Every structure is written in structure tokens, then in C-alpha cells.
Chain A
Amino acid sequence: MQYIALIYSDETFDDGPIEELLAEYQEFTDKVTAAGVMRGGDALELTSTATTVRMRDGELLLSDGPFAETKEQLGGYYLFECVDLDEAVYWAKQIPSAKYGSIEVRPIMPTDG
């Protein structure tokens, strides 16, 4: 069973040196990899680089910025292989940003193959 952990936090919030945070993330990534849980994951550039795409009546509509202005922004994700929600939560709570941001855990919809 796969779960995605979407990492939301306030990207304007400056929580000390970036090197420390990156080291924490590296440590966490190593840990989930060693546990055989890791199926993928990436960090995203800031929402100031985002472009929102919509097709309306066959016309392409582009707008600058994320599709919704929120207090916390999507900054990255992990993809985990877990037996159930409790295990997914067990890993998600250890994601460094969980201490000040929010992690949304969602099951991946199963498809054939």
C-alpha cells in the first residue's frame, strides 16, 4: 500500500540555517531508505516559480503563481510503501518539517498493474 506525504509549510518562514534543515532531511531520507519504505520523494522550488495551467473551452489559460493562496505551501513530498495508515503516520511524523508545518498523508489510489 502506497501513501504520499505532502509537506506543507510557510515558505517565507526562516527557521535557522538552511544547511541544518537539509542535513535533517538527508538523515530522514537515509532512514526511510534503509527501512525499505522509501519509494520516492522530492523538494519543490518556491511557489514564486509556480505556473497554474487551466484548459477552458479548448483554450489554454495560464496564470502566475500557485492555484490557491494559502498560509502554508506545498514544498515537497515523499512516497512511502507501508502496511497501513499507522505505519505511514509513524514515518510522516518524523519528516523534519512536521515540527512547524503540516504533513498531509494520503493513500495512492490502487490501479491495475
Chain B
Amino acid sequence: MASYSVNWRDLLNDESPQIIAYLSRQCGGDIASAEDALQEATLQAYEHWAENGLPEKPAAWLCHVARCRLLDKLRQDSRDGHRFIDGELLASAVDPSGFISEQDIAAESLENNDQRLALIFCCCHPAIDETSQLALLLQLIGGLNYREIASQLLLSADVVQRRLSRAKKKIKEAKIPFEVPEQEQLYSRQGHVRSMIYLMFNHSMEMTAEQAEPLLRQSIDLLLLLRKTVDSPESMALHALLMSVMARRAVGTYEFGLALSEQDRSQWDTVAIRQADSLLQQALMLQQLGPLQLQAAIHLLHSQSPSWEETDWQQIVSLYDLLIKMQPSALPRLNKYMAQFYSGADAQEIMDKVNGLTPELENYSAFYGAKMILLLELADFSLAETAYQHALELETAPRQRELLTQNWQKAQLNRKDLHLSQ
């Protein structure tokens, strides 16, 4: 028996999206069959690699074997009269030269024929409801299982499973195009695809490090693919924003869960932050201001400030003002009020403004988190505790809950110090 070592989780996380995209596209959008074929190929790899050692290009090996399995299934279905075959797969199979050096072809196809963007445009088609779009991305790009997706989307695993299989069936049977659309459609749909990539990235920040890594990498990869196909100042800004978020993670650790004021800024990747900043500057020079450019600018002001105390709150407040003009919703207003508070505005005055947002934000954890901070400043500890409890009740993401608890406990310690010094 040949000895070999391979990190299956990494291999599958890194390669599955590309293989599934490639195979689905070849069989005319039958994602479920592509997934089944890859699973069979993986099982075969367990045995074959143990006997024969690791192939030179494991991804190409998997892709090639999965492609053969898929072809078998399509032939079987077509013999049974279950379907008409109109995918590229069968056409390529009848070509006798197609089977000469299949693994090389598979390797080349994977490298030069990245279909992940086509997969995203297909999954984010407006004919599919948005929750299912996100579930598809989390499964096919992020490699999450039903239970993990369920906990992200606040649904039961059964519902997730039903939605996913319904969406895949619709893609196949209604023939939702499995391709990057052209010109007019590309321009009108790129914004939505971009926000879905952003949403996927945001979800990854709420996961454990092990779950999140592949999703983070894939989100950035996909954004790059999108930018190569159709670039825009907003996509550049999102790229800068994601780079800046990634740069704030301490090297080799996972620190999204720590409050901005508590992070060790010497651990941030300053080179990446500078790159992000220069990308944002390029976007701004194109003079088509959009919400993502403002969000990225706010983010980068934080990333470039030497300490929490030295943050340029005035500038952040004016950026929020611009953002509120474009997106007149309550959440940017809450953030603006808090920036005013941090820049030294009177806590009671800010408290009154924040209270004015109650009708819109009463179901948001962040709203009560902000109130907790203000009430602590006003030394109203019993109301602060109520706000803390509210915030905790409404927060489902484990890392955000941890952060809230940290903040609360720290406030308790500060209070003890106060008592001691009196």
C-alpha cells in the first residue's frame, strides 16, 4: 500500500466549487448530479489513492473521475428515457480524441475554464428567492452542510434541505442559464451578485475559524473573478473593504470576535491595509460615489487609525451623513450617533436620538448594544443591564454574543474599580 497524505477537508474546500461549477455547466445546469458525481469520485479516491499514492494533480483526478461518473449517469438516464441530453458533456464524449489524455484535459479545463462565476450568476438569478440563493452559495461555494446553513439562516435543517433541492430542480428544469450574462444583463445583475458575495463574506465572519476560512477565501476569489469580467467603483470598494477586514485579523489567529477598541493593532497587516486604501482611492477617483465606497472609507479610517482613541470620528460622522443620504435607513443613523458619542458628544443627547430609532430598530441586537454603552456612560446600571439582556436575546451569532458578554463584563470590572476608588 502506497503511503500518501492529503488534507481532505482543505482539498475539497478549495477545489469542490470549481469542479462542481465545471461539471454542472457541462451537463446543462444539473447541479445535484454534479455533486453526486463528485461525491462518488471522492469515495473512489479514498481507495485508489491509498493503493497507488497521491496523483500529481489531485483536483484534476477528482474532476476526471467525477466527469466519467456523470457521463455514465447521463447515458443511463437517456437510455431510460428520463431526459434529453443537450449538455456539452455528451458532445465532447463522442469525440474519439476526447479520451486520450483525460486527466490533462481535466486539469486544463479546470485551470483555464473557471466556471465559478457562471455558477454564481445562475444561483443568484432573480427567478430564485433570495434565501435559497444564499443557501446555494453557502453550500456550493462555502462547503457548509445543511445544519451549518440552517444555523446561519435561522431555519431548520429540513427547510434548508427542501429549499436547496427545490432551487436546484428549478435551475435544471426551468433551464435557468448557467452562464455569465452578456452586456446589458451583466450590468444590471452584477450589483446583486456583488451584494450576495458580500453577504456570504459577512456570514463567514460569524462562523468558527475552521468553517470560515474556505468561505472567506472563496468570497474574495469570486469578487476578483467578477471584477475581471465587469469592474466598477463599487466592486473595487468592496474588494478594499474585504482586504481591510482580513488585514485586521491577527496573524494566524481569529479575532473577529474582539471589539475594535480592544484589538491589538500592532497585529494588523499594515501592508494589506495600505493596498486596500490605494484600491479605494482608485475607486473614488472614478467619481461614481456609492454606498460601498463610503462603507469602505469608514472601515479604512478605523484600520488606519493608530489607536481607538485617535480615531478620526469627525470624518466618520461626515461619511455616515453621505451614506444616510444614499441609504436613508435606521442602521447607518445609529452608527452615526455612536460615532458622534465617541467624538465627545453629550451621552444624554445621543441617548435621546438613539431612542428615536426604536420603532425601526427594536428587533436589532446592535440597537440594544449601543444603548447599553450609552447607559453605562450615564451610570444607569439597571437599565444598562436590561439593554444588555435584550441585546443578548436578539443576537444569534456566537461571536457577537461573546463580544457583548466581554463588553458587559468589562463594564462590571470598571464599576468595581469605581467603588474601590471612592
Chain A residues engaging chain B, CB cutoff 8 angstroms: 1, 83-86, 89, 105-107, 109-110, 112
Contacts and interface: CB of A to CB of B under 8 A. Distances in A.
B127 A85 contact: yes
A84 to B, nearest CB: 5
A84 B176 contact: yes
Interface residues of B, number: 12
Contacts of A105: 174
Nearest to B86: A1
A1 B175 contact: yes
Contacts of B84: 110
A112 B173 CA distance: 16
Given A84-B176, A86-B181, A110-B84, 4 more contacts: A85-B174, A85-B175, A107-B173, A107-B175
Contacts of A1: 175
B175 A110 contact: no
B177 A86 contact: yes
B185 A86 contact: yes
A111 to B, nearest CB: 9
B177 A84 contact: yes
B96 interface: no
Contacts of A109: 173
A86 B181 CA distance: 10
Contacts of A84: 175-177
A107 B81 contact: no
A106 B175 CA distance: 10
Residue of A1, A106, A109 most packed against chain B (CB within 10 A): A1
A112 B80 CA distance: 11
B147 interface: no
A85 B176 contact: yes
A18 to B, nearest CB: 32
Nearest to B125: A85
Contacts of B181: 86
Contacts of A89: 127
Nearest to B179: A84
Contacts of B176: 84-86
A85 B177 CA distance: 7
Contacts of A106: 174
Q: Which 4 A-B pairs have the closest CB atoms?
A: A84-B175, A84-B177, A107-B174, A85-B176
